[in-house]
């Protein structure tokens, strides 16, 4: 290869990393509002299930012929099924339902508790990740912020908003446990296929429950806007972001990737305010600041070694939507 060609690829790689990182920040900041807009026409459980059904098809199409599609051990299927239900059925089911009653920006802030719960579960399940005082302080600060937000939701928005906020936090805890359990089990499978199998096991109960409670999707109000929201979330917000995340992992430190957790909630709040017409009380914004400050205390000075491709998903505890 010529010197000129080498320089071309070096220049392309140098710009590719920040471009991919900024794309993740922008997309994950926007998905919260897109969920909210789609909920104007689509019921929450079916909306989430159909989103992941489309994302599964995209991930399989992209991965076919490039990586191994099937797990090696029977136990791997059990782990993927359990973590998939936690990550996608429980977490996203509660998130989509919760956004019926709270703003997209507050939902993003509450989902930012995923790494906080992940740190606590890691302390209990991973001997090499003990809980340190500075991280415990960050967790307590963030949970104080969650308490402030939920308290204001109960006082200003009523009981349903309060339960919606708690539901989103509970789903975040389930997602965090899923991440830590995957790290403990160390499934040797390409990250995109780990995500695809988790989506398969997680989307199935969403689709079944949605059909029983919300009726046939054929009877939904399929407006052009709702269809655009669905495909944006499935293709851009799920398949593309997972692929970008795992492309970036060997090229960036985990700490820098985790910084996305501090950027997407303010981005979601800003988009909700500017485009969605959402308004936030001073106490809710203060609680959000506490949450992000706690997450920052947990993530600071986190320089972890790079992981094999089949193990990376458990290392990134990001609030993805």
Return the minimum-mean-pLDDT range out of 50-54, 182-186, 217-221: 182-186
pLDDT of 207: 97
pLDDT in tens, 121-150: 888 888 877 777 777 787 778 778 887 777
pLDDT of 163: 92
3-class DSSP assignment, residue 202: helix
pTM confidence score: 0.84
Q: Which own/partner contact pairs does 152-156 have at CB distance under 8 Å and 24+ positions apart? A: 152/281, 152/283, 152/284, 152/287, 153/102, 153/106, 153/284, 156/281
CB proximity list for 253: less than 8 A, separation 6 or greater = 303, 304
pLDDT of 114: 85
3-class DSSP assignment, residue 99: coil
- For the chain, the average pLDDT equals 83
* CA–CA distances in Å: residue 133 to residues 34, 109, 194, 298: 38, 23, 33, 10
Report, as an integer, the average pLDDT of 307-319: 50
Report, as an integer, the average pLDDT of 177-198: 87
Report, as an integer, the average pLDDT of 225-232: 96
Contact 150, 92 (CB under 8 A): no
Higher pLDDT, 261 or 181: 181
Return the minimum-mean-pLDDT range out of 25-29, 61-65, 83-87, 135-139: 135-139
């Amino acid at each position: 290869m010529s010197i000129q060609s080498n320089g071309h690829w070096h220049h392309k790689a140098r710009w590719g990393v920040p471009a991919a990182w900024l794309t993740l920040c922008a997309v994950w900041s926007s998905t919260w509002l897109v969920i909210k807009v789609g909920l104007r026409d689509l019921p929450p459980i079916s909306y989430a299930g159909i989103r992941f059904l489309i994302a599964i098809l995209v991930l399989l199409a992209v991965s076919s012929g490039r990586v191994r599609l099937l797990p090696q051990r029977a136990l791997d299927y059990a782990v993927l099924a359990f973590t998939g239900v936690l990550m996608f059925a429980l977490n996203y089911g509660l998130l989509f339902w919760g956004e019926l009653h709270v703003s997209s920006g507050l939902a993003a802030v509450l989902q930012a508790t995923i790494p906080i719960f992940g740190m606590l579960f890691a302390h209990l399940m991973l001997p090499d990740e003990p809980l340190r005082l500075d991280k415990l302080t960050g967790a307590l600060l963030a949970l104080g912020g969650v308490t402030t937000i939920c308290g204001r939701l109960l006082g200003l928005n009523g009981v349903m908003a309060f339960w919606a906020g708690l539901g989103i936090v509970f789903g975040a805890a389930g997602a965090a446990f899923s991440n830590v359990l995957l790290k403990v089990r160390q499934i040797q499978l390409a990250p995109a296929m780990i995500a695809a199998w988790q989506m398969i096991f997680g989307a199935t109960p969403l689709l079944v429950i949605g059909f029983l409670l919300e009726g046939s999707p054929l009877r939904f109000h399929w407006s052009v806007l709702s269809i655009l929201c669905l495909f944006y979330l499935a293709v851009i917000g799920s398949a593309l972001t997972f692929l970008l995340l795992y492309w970036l992992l060997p090229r960036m430190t985990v700490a820098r990737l985790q910084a996305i957790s501090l950027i997407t909630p303010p981005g979601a709040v800003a988009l909700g305010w500017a485009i969605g017409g959402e308004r936030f009380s001073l106490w809710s914004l203060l609680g959000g600041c506490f949450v992000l400050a706690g997450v920052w205390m947990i993530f600071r000075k986190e320089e972890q070694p790079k992981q094999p491709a089949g193990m990376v998903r458990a290392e990134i505890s990001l609030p993805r939507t």
